[in-house]
Amino acid sequence: MPNRDSEKLITDGYTTTLLGDELMVCENMKHIRVTSVPSYTEVGMIILCLRGTAKICIFDNIHILAKNELAVILPGQLVSITELSHDFLCNIVVLSRALFDDTLSGFSRFSPLFFVYMRSHYWYELTGEEIERFKLFYGSLAQRAKDPTHFFRRESVLLLLRIFYLDIYNEYYSKSHLMKGGSDMGKSKLAHDFFCLIMQHYREHKDVAFYADKLCITSKYLSMVIKEASGKTAKDWIVEYAILEVKAMLKNSTMNIQEISIKTNFANQSSLGRFFRKHTGMTLTEYRMHR
């Protein structure tokens, strides 16, 4: 929930917490406190840079966010935000995973590969017209969410958020060749549910059987559906989430191997080392030295 995670994310500015802590609307923020060690975020963030710069890294995709640029960060992404300039200022919307999931549930043609696309397509340089349109969205969102006389505040907020994310999703949809030729909606939903489960359980559960059981299907069928939808097997995706987090932590020289093994839920350093070498061909030390 944003009330816990946002305390680590947001400082120095005007903040309004809304909808029972499901939504935060923040103006003129000078700092976005995300750990220097890339971590999987539990909240969604929409950031408009008003001035200055900030370094954003999502799954090794780095961008220096500058004035009049918008960053859209989805829950479950591996994120770090560092190197904020002394004059950095932004407006930011923070929403809980539950609110984000309810927003996307209104998409009739949602593809799970949207999450993959947004790893590297998370920032946008806005035109003057687009900035004004975002400010209108931002103001409407805050106004709707904090109106105590409105009996359908959450529903109104969901509609506004759906319009915003549909604009983002429309760009993905129009660019993705994978969307051509139609799709099986049942399989698409299954793939989406699988990706959501990975985001929640990738540390504790690295076996396909766990996810298949959660989805009430066989491991073989799950692997077939995910392979068909993404080009990778279910096991490949589970491993990728775990490996990417380990790599991100190895790049931070302040964490030792034991600390990394604890944080990533491996039994000990040896089991982490075997897992990492099996899937990368390198030892933990070799990767850290050549990062």
Secondary structure (3-state) at 13: coil
Torsion of CA 212, 215, 221, 225, to 10 degrees: -110
Segments in 74-184 forming alpha helices (H): 97-104, 114-120, 128-145, 153-175
Residues 122, 58 contacting (CB under 8 angstroms)? yes
**CA dist., res. 245 & res. 199, Å (int):** 12
Instruction: Describe the crossing of helices 185-201 and 219-230 by its angle, rounded to 10 degrees.
Output: 100
Rounded to the nearest 5 degrees, what angle is found at the Cα of 122, between the Cα atoms of 194 and 136? 110
Segments in 176-254 forming alpha helices (H): 185-201, 208-214, 219-230, 234-250
**CA dist., res. 14 & res. 28, Å (int):** 7
List per-residue pLDDT tens for the chain, 291 residues long: 444 444 445 445 555 666 778 899 888 888 886 666 788 888 999 999 999 999 999 988 999 999 999 999 998 888 999 999 999 999 999 999 889 988 886 665 566 678 888 988 999 999 999 999 999 999 999 888 888 788 888 899 999 999 999 999 888 877 765 444 445 667 777 888 898 898 889 889 999 999 999 999 999 999 999 888 777 889 988 998 888 888 888 877 678 999 999 989 999 999 999 999 999 898 999 888 876
Q: What pLDDT shows up at residue 116?
A: 81
Residues 252, 263 contacting (CB under 8 angstroms)? no
Please state the length of the chain.
291
Residue type, 36: S
Cβ neighbours of residue 39 closer than 8 Å, sequence gap 6 or more: 78, 79, 80, 245
**CA dist., res. 90 & res. 88, Å (int):** 7
Statement: the pTM of the whole predicted model exceeds 0.75: no
Domains of the chain (ranges plus CATH)?
Answer: 2-177 (2.60.120.10), 185-289 (1.10.10.60)
